[in-house]
Amino acid sequence: MSTAELYASYQTKMQKIADVKYASAVLQWDQETYLPPKGNDFRGQQIATLSEIAHQQFTDKAMGELLVELSSREDLPASQKRNIQLSSEDYNRNVKLSSAFVRQLSESVNQSYHAWAKARKENSFSSFEQPLQQLIELKKQEADMLGYEQHPYNALMNDYDKGLTVSKVDSLFDELKPQLLVLLDAIKNKNNVDDSFLFQQFNKDDQWKFGIEILKRIGFDFEAGRQDISLHPFTTNFSSRDVRVTTRIDEHDFGNMTWSCLHEGGHALYEQGLPADQYGLPLGEYCSLSIHESQSRLWENCIGRGLPFWQHNSSLLKKSFSDQFNNISPEQFYRAINKVAPSLIRTEADELTYHFHVIIRYEIEKMLIEGSLQTKDIPACWNEQYQKYLGITVPDDNSGCLQDIHWSHGSFGYFATYSLGSLYAAQLFATIESQYPSLGEDLANGNVNNIQQWLKKEIYCNGRYYSSEELCKKATGESLQSSYFIQYATKKFSEIYI
């Protein structure tokens, strides 16, 4: 059989597997948006079945043999060769997990998710504890099956950013923490910023319409996606032409919905920008969760919390919420949305204290996976760490260890990518600014074209071709440097806290 015929067979197999995975993703999206409560049990079974089928198809012996044969062919074009290399890596990793284990894990995630939702309603960790404990034990087993060096957490982080390790993240956080503390110390004695006007009454429907318009203005294609409401904002996709974002609305907190729209919108733009002709193949997938988070943090913070963005969108603010913002200048709004103060909720934190929210979760996850922290002790540990790092008292579980959806999804190893994403975002944004000196003026005029085109060329179109570090070096000329975030933050917050 010719190389072209073999590759066509591989592509067909991969796209069929993708069809199954995305069918499962549709069910998961529905589970978190519209599923009626009595549908929970069967929905979990349906998702588990599809997860098992996809795993069986991908780890089938014939798939392994096909990948081995294609790996030996010398006449593959570069992009096809890279797809085969990446699929082979994925195959060798996935074949270590049995289909029965994959099903068991999926069923446990379903139970854990609904227990988390129930615990949120009750504002009590206790009903979440046992399902979470079972899930953590399965994640420990997964780490053992996959194999690792030095720390079991490395096996799980590798799912979100290939090659990411505890030693790398520890080193990065050890470098970042003292620099953040210096900035926070310099700010704490300065004049406080007034953000009280962000906590007035904001009609839910008006906020919804405003969020839709903001998504349109940053380039989200509503013919290739939609937005809905969920307990915890998230982005999912079923192809680059069907990308879903969700948000949540608090009628007494303007920022809750606004920043989730910008954050999830950044994720969605990345998904919509991936190559459609690589559907189901590695080059049609995102590079890593660290790079994915760089896209959400770039749009949410570097752009969305920047003064030029609101110089343009101030008129939309006042049109949508005339009673609340009619007498507020873009400069006042800019200062308010960048107020630095320790807070309870990660998704609502300022750009500086945000990293400590991430560090706390990262440290807890490490301890859970290595076995030095028991599930029942999570609330106490969480509360202790918030007092240590942020100096605040956690009043209840919803404001503490129940606030994130990630653990109920089994997403252990994810949280570090949020801080990495912020660092990548600052470095990418610095490069964009250096290449487009008029960027601030463009944003003040509502023009995001240069940013969109740069991201499409440097980030989106590459899919998984490069690792995070390789992609960063290709796009910016350097490997990841925390100095870009510190420079960005120092400049911004020095201007605000004069």
**Which residue do the tokens 């980030």 mark?**
459
CA distances in angstroms from 4 to 77, 80, 96, 216, 311, listed in the order given: 10, 10, 29, 41, 53
Summary count for the chain: helices (H), strands (E): 21, 3
Distance in angstroms (rounded) separating the CA atoms of residues 182 and 185: 5
Do the strands 235-239 and 225-229 form a parallel or antiparallel pair, or are they unpaired? unpaired
Cα–Cα distance for residue pair 250/202, rounded to 1 Å: 8
Q: How far apart are CA 428 and CA 191, in angstroms?
A: 31
CA-wise closest residue to 407 among 362, 471, 354, 347: 362
Check if the beta carbon of residue 128 is closer than 8 Å to that of residue 379.
Answer: no
Length of the chain: 498
Instruction: Give the whole-angstrom CA distance, residue 490 versus residue 493.
Output: 5
Q: Are strands 225-229 and 242-247 parallel, antiparallel or unpaired?
A: parallel
Rounded CA-CA distance 299/276 in Å is 23
How far apart are alpha carbons 159 and 344 in whole angstroms? 28
What residues does 246 pair with on adjacent strands? Answer: 228
Number of other residues whose CB lies within 10 A of the CB of residue 295: 28
* Residue 264 designated active-site: yes
- Asked if residues 279 and 240 have their Cβ atoms less than 8 Å apart, the reply is yes
Residue 311 has, within 13 A of its CA and on its CB side, a CA count of 13
Cβ atoms 123, 397 nearer than 8 A: yes
Cross-strand pairs, 242? 239
CB contact at 8 A, 375 and 129: yes
**Catalytic residue from among 142, 264, 293, 365:** 264
- In the block, residue with structure tokens 């615990």: 119
Contact 154, 148 (CB under 8 A): yes
Q: Which two tokens stand for residue 286?
A: 């995102």
Catalytic positions, please? Answer: 264
